[in-house]
């Protein structure tokens, strides 16, 4: 199964809601960091990808689409590897994104070595490499990280042809997403999941806390 949608947006841009939305639209199982947390065998595959030795067929075996980190880090490679896939760039207002990121992902990365569950601790080490070191160049301050956030948006828009790309805020709901994917609009509400508090509760559960 080849990916039909590649998510290029950072984590905390509504990616869990997007995961559920894409699955509801019939695009198959959607890869997300949550999938890695629940499947320890994925961790060495992502470690290999971070080391420059990705096996995309194995990583995405059984998945029809992907959003969120770690996959979003490799959006260029994946767009080339799956040339028929559409690219979905999830965004949100940058102040809201920063507040959410700093309270969740940044906090988890900072305490990653204290996580008692081995595969989660190992995956957070991979995430540290991909997110903190390569995407944010080791910066932890708001100005630098928001600069990287804006840079990702501009890089994706510059690299992906407009007909292949949707820049999408989950607050827009079903219509633009369904129009982009050629899918009928569901009668149900667009998913709204994984608030900062839900994220923290999930990480506590996964880390044995």
CATH (domain of 190): 3.40.50.300
Q: Would you give per-residue pLDDT tens digits along the chain (209 residues)? A: 799 999 999 999 999 999 999 999 999 999 999 999 889 999 999 999 999 999 999 999 999 999 999 999 999 999 999 999 999 999 999 999 999 999 999 999 999 999 999 999 999 999 999 999 999 999 999 999 999 999 999 999 999 999 999 999 999 999 999 999 999 999 999 998 765 566 666 556 555 55
Order of strands, edge to edge, in the sheet holding 5-7? 30-31, 65-66, 5-7, 86-90, 165-168
Choose among 135, 132, 145: nearest CA to 98: 145
Structure tokens at 144: 């630098």
Q: What is the greatest pairwise CA distance in the chain? A: 45
Q: How far apart are the first and last CA of the chain?
A: 36
Q: How many domains does the chain have?
A: 1
Name the residue range of residue 186's domain: 5-206
């Amino acid at each position: 199964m080849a990916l039909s949608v590649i998510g290029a947006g950072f984590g905390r841009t509504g990616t869990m809601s997007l995961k559920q939305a894409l699955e509801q639209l019939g695009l198959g199982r959607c890869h997300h960091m949550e999938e890695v947390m629940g499947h320890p065998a994925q961790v060495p595959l992502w470690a290999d990808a971070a080391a420059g030795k990705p096996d995309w067929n194995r990583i995405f075996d059984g998945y029809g689409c992907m959003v969120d980190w770690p996959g979003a880090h490799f959006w260029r490679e994946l767009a080339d590897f799956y040339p028929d896939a559409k690219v979905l760039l999830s965004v949100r207002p940058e102040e809201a994104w920063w507040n959410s990121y700093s309270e969740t992902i940044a906090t988890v990365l900072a305490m990653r070595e204290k996580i008692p569950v081995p595969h989660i601790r190992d995956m957070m080490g991979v995430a540290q490499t991909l997110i903190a070191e390569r995407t944010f160049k080791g910066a932890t301050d708001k100005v630098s990280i928001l600069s990287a956030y804006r840079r990702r948006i501009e890089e994706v828009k510059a690299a992906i042809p407009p007909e292949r790309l949707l820049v999408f805020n989950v607050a827009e709901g079903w219509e633009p997403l369904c129009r982009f994917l050629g899918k009928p609009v569901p009668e149900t509400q667009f998913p709204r999941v994984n608030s900062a508090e839900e994220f923290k509760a999930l990480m506590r559960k996964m880390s044995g806390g």
